[in-house]
Amino acid sequence: MKKTLIIANWKMNPSNTTQAKVLFDEVAKVLKDVKKAKVVICPPFPYLSIINNQLSLIKLGAQDCFWEESGSFTGEISLSMLKDLGCKYVIIGHSERRQFLNETDRMVNKKIKAALIKNIRPIFCFGESKKDKDQGKTQNVLKKQLENGLRKIIKSDVKKIIFAYEPLWAIGSGKPCSPEEANVIRLFIKKIITQKYSRPIANEIKILYGGSVNSSNVKSFIQQGSFQGVLVGGVSLKPKEFIKLVKNI
Ligand code: 13P
Protein backbone atom coordinates (compact mmCIF):
# COMPACT_ATOMS: atom_id res chain seq x y z
CA MET A 1 0.00 0.00 0.00
CA LYS A 2 1.31 3.44 -0.99
CA LYS A 3 1.48 5.65 2.08
CA THR A 4 -0.08 9.10 2.11
CA LEU A 5 2.55 11.75 2.58
CA ILE A 6 1.84 14.30 5.29
CA ILE A 7 4.34 17.11 5.46
CA ALA A 8 4.33 19.46 8.43
CA ASN A 9 5.76 22.87 7.63
CA TRP A 10 6.32 24.58 10.98
CA LYS A 11 7.47 27.76 9.18
CA MET A 12 9.11 30.16 11.69
CA ASN A 13 7.60 28.45 14.76
CA PRO A 14 7.69 27.73 17.68
CA SER A 15 9.83 30.41 19.30
CA ASN A 16 12.28 28.32 21.34
CA THR A 17 13.95 24.92 21.53
CA THR A 18 11.96 23.80 24.56
CA GLN A 19 8.68 24.39 22.78
CA ALA A 20 9.98 22.71 19.62
CA LYS A 21 10.95 19.63 21.58
CA VAL A 22 7.58 19.48 23.36
CA LEU A 23 5.73 19.83 20.05
CA PHE A 24 7.80 17.13 18.39
CA ASP A 25 7.58 14.74 21.34
CA GLU A 26 3.80 15.05 21.57
CA VAL A 27 3.39 14.24 17.90
CA ALA A 28 6.07 11.55 17.78
CA LYS A 29 4.85 9.54 20.75
CA VAL A 30 1.45 9.04 19.10
CA LEU A 31 2.53 8.83 15.48
CA LYS A 32 5.58 6.65 15.87
CA ASP A 33 3.79 3.66 14.45
CA VAL A 34 1.16 5.08 12.13
CA LYS A 35 0.84 2.71 9.17
CA LYS A 36 -1.18 4.59 6.55
CA ALA A 37 0.85 7.78 6.46
CA LYS A 38 4.43 8.86 6.07
CA VAL A 39 4.89 11.94 8.22
CA VAL A 40 7.65 14.45 7.47
CA ILE A 41 8.34 17.30 9.87
CA CYS A 42 10.05 20.42 8.55
CA PRO A 43 11.09 22.58 11.52
CA PRO A 44 13.19 25.75 11.37
CA PHE A 45 16.93 25.03 10.87
CA PRO A 46 18.00 25.49 14.53
CA TYR A 47 15.66 22.70 15.67
CA LEU A 48 16.79 20.10 13.12
CA SER A 49 19.47 18.68 15.37
CA ILE A 50 17.29 18.22 18.44
CA ILE A 51 14.70 16.35 16.43
CA ASN A 52 17.26 14.32 14.53
CA ASN A 53 18.30 12.54 17.73
CA GLN A 54 14.89 11.09 18.31
CA LEU A 55 13.49 10.17 14.95
CA SER A 56 11.15 7.23 14.73
CA LEU A 57 9.11 6.62 11.60
CA ILE A 58 8.78 10.36 11.30
CA LYS A 59 11.15 11.80 8.73
CA LEU A 60 12.92 15.10 8.84
CA GLY A 61 12.83 17.87 6.24
CA ALA A 62 14.18 21.40 5.94
CA GLN A 63 12.28 24.49 4.78
CA ASP A 64 14.92 25.74 2.35
CA CYS A 65 18.49 25.17 1.15
CA PHE A 66 21.20 26.83 -0.90
CA TRP A 67 22.48 25.40 -4.18
CA GLU A 68 26.22 25.80 -3.59
CA GLU A 69 28.19 23.18 -1.70
CA SER A 70 30.20 25.52 0.57
CA GLY A 71 31.96 28.88 0.56
CA SER A 72 31.31 32.57 1.06
CA PHE A 73 27.53 32.62 1.14
CA THR A 74 26.70 34.32 4.42
CA GLY A 75 23.55 33.04 6.02
CA GLU A 76 23.02 30.13 3.63
CA ILE A 77 22.74 26.43 4.43
CA SER A 78 24.05 23.70 2.15
CA LEU A 79 22.45 20.40 1.32
CA SER A 80 25.42 18.55 2.81
CA MET A 81 24.72 20.28 6.12
CA LEU A 82 21.07 19.26 5.90
CA LYS A 83 22.02 15.71 5.05
CA ASP A 84 24.37 15.59 7.99
CA LEU A 85 21.47 16.59 10.24
CA GLY A 86 19.34 13.73 8.93
CA CYS A 87 17.14 15.60 6.45
CA LYS A 88 15.60 13.40 3.80
CA TYR A 89 13.39 16.14 2.32
CA VAL A 90 13.63 19.86 1.62
CA ILE A 91 10.85 22.33 0.84
CA ILE A 92 11.82 24.48 -2.15
CA GLY A 93 10.10 27.55 -3.59
CA HIS A 94 7.50 28.06 -0.89
CA SER A 95 5.32 31.06 -1.80
CA GLU A 96 6.37 32.87 1.38
CA ARG A 97 9.99 32.79 0.19
CA ARG A 98 8.96 33.83 -3.31
CA GLN A 99 6.91 36.70 -1.83
CA PHE A 100 9.07 37.99 1.04
CA LEU A 101 12.56 37.06 -0.17
CA ASN A 102 12.14 37.49 -3.91
CA GLU A 103 12.94 33.87 -4.61
CA THR A 104 12.68 33.38 -8.37
CA ASP A 105 11.90 30.35 -10.54
CA ARG A 106 15.58 30.31 -11.52
CA MET A 107 16.66 30.02 -7.89
CA VAL A 108 14.03 27.36 -7.28
CA ASN A 109 15.37 25.39 -10.23
CA LYS A 110 18.96 25.59 -8.96
CA LYS A 111 17.90 24.44 -5.50
CA ILE A 112 15.89 21.51 -6.87
CA LYS A 113 18.86 20.36 -8.97
CA ALA A 114 21.24 20.68 -6.02
CA ALA A 115 18.90 18.68 -3.76
CA LEU A 116 18.60 15.91 -6.35
CA ILE A 117 22.39 15.64 -6.59
CA LYS A 118 22.57 15.16 -2.82
CA ASN A 119 19.73 12.66 -2.84
CA ILE A 120 17.46 14.81 -0.68
CA ARG A 121 13.90 14.81 -2.00
CA PRO A 122 12.79 18.27 -3.10
CA ILE A 123 9.25 19.32 -2.20
CA PHE A 124 8.69 21.72 -5.08
CA CYS A 125 6.05 24.34 -4.15
CA PHE A 126 4.12 26.42 -6.64
CA GLY A 127 0.74 28.11 -6.79
CA GLU A 128 -1.21 31.08 -8.08
CA SER A 129 -2.16 34.26 -6.23
CA LYS A 130 -5.72 35.47 -5.72
CA LYS A 131 -5.11 38.09 -8.42
CA ASP A 132 -3.89 35.44 -10.91
CA LYS A 133 -6.96 33.37 -10.16
CA ASP A 134 -9.38 36.28 -10.49
CA GLN A 135 -7.82 37.21 -13.82
CA GLY A 136 -8.16 33.64 -15.09
CA LYS A 137 -4.38 33.19 -15.24
CA THR A 138 -4.02 30.19 -12.93
CA GLN A 139 -2.95 27.65 -15.54
CA ASN A 140 -0.53 30.03 -17.27
CA VAL A 141 1.11 30.91 -13.96
CA LEU A 142 1.42 27.28 -12.88
CA LYS A 143 2.75 26.21 -16.29
CA LYS A 144 5.46 28.85 -16.12
CA GLN A 145 6.44 27.96 -12.53
CA LEU A 146 6.55 24.27 -13.40
CA GLU A 147 8.49 24.63 -16.65
CA ASN A 148 11.03 27.04 -15.14
CA GLY A 149 11.42 25.01 -11.96
CA LEU A 150 12.05 21.83 -13.97
CA ARG A 151 14.55 23.26 -16.46
CA LYS A 152 17.23 20.73 -17.38
CA ILE A 153 15.94 18.14 -14.95
CA ILE A 154 16.11 14.72 -16.53
CA LYS A 155 13.44 12.00 -16.58
CA SER A 156 15.03 9.78 -13.98
CA ASP A 157 15.26 12.71 -11.56
CA VAL A 158 11.83 14.23 -12.01
CA LYS A 159 10.27 11.15 -10.38
CA LYS A 160 12.08 11.99 -7.15
CA ILE A 161 10.48 15.43 -6.92
CA ILE A 162 7.40 15.87 -4.74
CA PHE A 163 5.09 18.41 -6.36
CA ALA A 164 3.18 20.62 -3.93
CA TYR A 165 0.33 22.72 -5.26
CA GLU A 166 -0.29 25.51 -2.78
CA PRO A 167 -2.63 28.25 -4.00
CA LEU A 168 -1.51 31.43 -2.22
CA TRP A 169 -5.07 32.49 -1.40
CA ALA A 170 -5.66 29.23 0.47
CA ILE A 171 -2.54 29.44 2.65
CA GLY A 172 -3.37 30.42 6.22
CA SER A 173 -6.75 31.79 5.13
CA GLY A 174 -8.97 29.05 6.52
CA LYS A 175 -10.44 28.87 3.00
CA PRO A 176 -9.01 25.82 1.26
CA CYS A 177 -9.38 25.14 -2.42
CA SER A 178 -12.30 22.80 -3.05
CA PRO A 179 -11.19 19.21 -3.68
CA GLU A 180 -12.88 19.33 -7.12
CA GLU A 181 -11.03 22.49 -8.11
CA ALA A 182 -7.76 21.11 -6.71
CA ASN A 183 -8.28 17.94 -8.71
CA VAL A 184 -8.57 19.95 -11.94
CA ILE A 185 -5.19 21.47 -11.11
CA ARG A 186 -3.73 18.07 -10.24
CA LEU A 187 -4.74 16.83 -13.69
CA PHE A 188 -3.28 19.97 -15.25
CA ILE A 189 0.06 19.33 -13.48
CA LYS A 190 0.04 15.78 -14.84
CA LYS A 191 -0.64 17.15 -18.32
CA ILE A 192 2.39 19.44 -18.11
CA ILE A 193 4.57 16.56 -16.90
CA THR A 194 3.24 14.33 -19.69
CA GLN A 195 4.11 16.98 -22.29
CA LYS A 196 7.58 17.61 -20.87
CA TYR A 197 8.45 14.01 -19.98
CA SER A 198 5.98 11.18 -20.57
CA ARG A 199 2.67 9.79 -19.38
CA PRO A 200 4.23 6.98 -17.29
CA ILE A 201 6.34 9.59 -15.48
CA ALA A 202 3.29 11.81 -14.93
CA ASN A 203 1.50 8.79 -13.46
CA GLU A 204 4.38 8.06 -11.14
CA ILE A 205 5.01 11.48 -9.58
CA LYS A 206 3.62 12.45 -6.19
CA ILE A 207 1.41 15.53 -6.12
CA LEU A 208 0.40 17.10 -2.81
CA TYR A 209 -2.08 19.81 -1.92
CA GLY A 210 -1.42 22.54 0.66
CA GLY A 211 -3.44 25.47 1.97
CA SER A 212 -5.74 25.43 5.03
CA VAL A 213 -5.69 21.65 5.35
CA ASN A 214 -7.19 20.43 8.64
CA SER A 215 -8.43 17.21 10.21
CA SER A 216 -11.91 17.63 8.71
CA ASN A 217 -10.96 18.32 5.11
CA VAL A 218 -7.80 16.20 4.71
CA LYS A 219 -9.70 13.14 3.55
CA SER A 220 -11.42 15.04 0.74
CA PHE A 221 -8.05 15.98 -0.80
CA ILE A 222 -6.77 12.43 -0.60
CA GLN A 223 -9.96 10.66 -1.67
CA GLN A 224 -11.94 13.05 -3.93
CA GLY A 225 -8.93 15.09 -4.97
CA SER A 226 -6.73 11.99 -5.49
CA PHE A 227 -3.67 13.77 -4.08
CA GLN A 228 -0.87 11.58 -2.73
CA GLY A 229 -0.54 13.75 0.33
CA VAL A 230 -0.84 17.18 1.91
CA LEU A 231 1.37 19.98 3.12
CA VAL A 232 0.20 21.37 6.44
CA GLY A 233 1.10 24.72 8.00
CA GLY A 234 -0.93 26.08 10.92
CA VAL A 235 -2.43 22.78 12.07
CA SER A 236 1.02 21.16 12.31
CA LEU A 237 1.72 23.43 15.30
CA LYS A 238 -1.25 22.06 17.25
CA PRO A 239 -0.26 18.52 18.24
CA LYS A 240 -3.74 17.19 19.03
CA GLU A 241 -5.24 18.59 15.85
CA PHE A 242 -2.27 17.39 13.77
CA ILE A 243 -2.50 13.86 15.18
CA LYS A 244 -6.22 13.86 14.37
CA LEU A 245 -5.42 15.00 10.83
CA VAL A 246 -2.95 12.16 10.30
CA LYS A 247 -5.40 9.63 11.69
CA ASN A 248 -8.26 10.95 9.53
CA ILE A 249 -6.73 10.27 6.12
P1 13P B 1 -1.62 26.50 6.19
O2 13P B 1 -1.86 25.03 6.40
O3 13P B 1 -1.41 27.26 7.48
O4 13P B 1 -2.65 27.10 5.29
O5 13P B 1 -0.22 26.64 5.43
C6 13P B 1 0.01 25.89 4.28
C7 13P B 1 1.42 25.98 3.90
O8 13P B 1 1.91 27.04 3.54
C9 13P B 1 2.24 24.77 4.02
O10 13P B 1 3.47 24.91 3.40
DSSP string, 68-101: SSSSS-TT---HHHHHHTTEEEEEES-HHHHHHS
- In the reported structure, the alpha carbon of residue 72 is separated from the centroid of ligand 1 by a whole-number distance in angstroms of 32
Strand partners, 164: 125, 208
pLDDT (tens digit per residue) in 122-136: 999 999 999 999 999
Q: How many structural domains does the chain have?
A: 1
Residue 150 has pLDDT above 80, yes or no: yes
Residue 235 CB neighbours (<10 A)? 19
Using only C-alpha atoms, the chain has a radius of gyration, in whole angstroms, of 17
Split at pLDDT 50, 70, 90, the class of 32 is confident
Split at pLDDT 50, 70, 90, the class of 53 is low
* 96 a catalytic residue: no
Answer yes or no: is the C-beta of 95 below 6 A from any ligand 1 atom.
Answer: no
**Alpha carbons 9 and 75: distance in angstroms, whole number:** 21
**111 lies in which domain range?**
4-247
Answer yes or no: is the C-beta of 234 below 6 A from any ligand 1 atom.
Answer: yes
- In the reported structure, the alpha carbon of residue 9 is separated from the centroid of ligand 1 by a whole-number distance in angstroms of 7
pLDDT value at residue 227: 97
Enumerate residues 6+ apart whose C-beta is below 8 A from 71.
Answer: none
- Nearest residue (by CA) to ligand 1, atom 7, is 233
Mutate to test the pocket of ligand 1, among 41, 232, 238, 246 (most ligand atoms within 8 A of CB): 232
pLDDT value at residue 34: 81
pLDDT value at residue 225: 81
Residue 56 has pLDDT above 70, yes or no: no
Split at pLDDT 50, 70, 90, the class of 239 is very high
The catalytically annotated residue of 96, 103, 128, 166 is 166
pLDDT (tens digit per residue) in 159-201: 999 999 999 999 999 999 999 999 999 999 999 999 999 999 9
- % pLDDT > 90, the chain: 91
Residue 1 has pLDDT above 90, yes or no: no
The domain that holds 229 is classified in CATH as 3.20.20.70
Average pLDDT, integer, range 215-223: 96
